[in-house]
Amino acid sequence: MKVLVTGANGQLGRDVVLLLEKEGHSVLACARDQMDITNQAQCNDVISSYLPEAVIHCAAYTAVDAAETDIDGAYKVNAVGTRNVAVAAERAGAKLIYISTDYVFDGNSLNPYQEYDNTNPQSVYGKSKRAGELLVQSLSSKWFIVRTSWVYGLYGNNFVKTMLKLGQEKPKLQVVHDQKGSPTYTVDLARFLVKLMATEMYGVYHASNCGTCTWYEFTEAIFAEARNVGGFSIQAQLEPCTTEQFPRPAPRPCNSEMDHLSIRTNGLTDIRPWREGLREFISLLSK
């Protein structure tokens, strides 16, 4: 299959490209210097020249706190950029997979969020990603929206790498214990996206590794796996804290747990438990 990947140098994009190539697909990996998604003419030129059968749109403005003051920047990439990709993909007759986020919800639900629950983003980042979803739904006829959460992988900076570094350097670490969600390993998410791409089961999907934890519990697991399979020398003593003790510019959802209703009802294979993905990642990182 001919596939174009945006954000190909990013944390998820790189694993998507590697998997597609490994599986024998023809891939055009587009980083910003190959295709600036905020440039409509460039999107049209690149996509119409390559004529992909599918576009996996990983490029995004993901600096959650910076977006609170850089509102135009967030919308330029996540809304305008997504519109440009959607229009060009539709013109080429390509399927479009748009990567979205748990931040489209307010995080106040007592239950896991299902795909067709009402969205209510509280941050600029969440609002800009929701704008991208709406544009994909209105401009593309063959679309998948895949919302994910707490993403980490080998490429780029992420929570797991930060905690491993701090765990080896700091005597004590406080980590938030009143926000829960599902950590997602990029390799596992990439596998799901490539399987989904081959179908015509269009719609909204929640895709994360199975199971939930708080950031504190996630860090506990990171440290345990780092000692057991990674051989890391973790020094830090962990302490739970509240969101109020750790204020940030952008509001964080208290509950980011997403139910995988669409995966189940479409008969697709769910993504493995988060602890298994974490163990594999840390083992790989240690090598």
Centre a 10 Å sphere on the Cβ of residue 218 and count the other Cβ atoms it contains. Answer: 26
Residue 35 token pair: 């295709």
3-state secondary structure of 205: strand
Task: Name the burial class of residue 233, with classes exposed (0-12), middle (13-18) and buried (19+) by CB atoms within 10 angstroms of its CB.
Answer: exposed
Q: Which of 61, 98, 103, 125 is catalytic?
A: 125
Give bridge partners of residue 176 from the DSSP assignment.
Answer: 241
- Strand order across the beta sheet in which 2-6 lies: 26-30, 2-6, 54-57, 95-101, 143-148, 203-206
Q: Is residue 98 flagged as an active site residue? A: no
Secondary structure of the chain: what % helix, strand, coil (to 5)? Answer: 45, 20, 35
Active site residues: 125
